[in-house]
Amino acid sequence: MQDLMQQAKQFVQDEDSVTAIEYGLIAALIAIVIIAGVKLVGQNLSAVFEKVQSALK
């Protein structure tokens, strides 16, 4: 029983898993920002090409 309590205390005090979760959340946020930026730039770039195309006609 003492061993189980000691393992539970070590699990609660272990900060490596918390750090890994934080890094995962940061990576997910960065990915969301990149995707949103690429989508926005893509839409604007498409509008520019459409203007060029209509000007050439």
DSSP output for 1-57: -HHHHHHHHHHHH--HHHHHHHHHHHHHHHHHHHHHHHHHHHHHHHHHHHHHHHHH-
Cα gap 3→11, rounded to integer Å: 12
Domain hosting residue 47, numbered range: 28-56
Check pLDDT > 80 for residue 13.
Answer: no
pTM over 0.85: no
Cα gap 29→24, rounded to integer Å: 9
Arithmetic mean of pLDDT, 11-31:
83
- Count of structural domains, the chain: 1
Domain contains 16: no
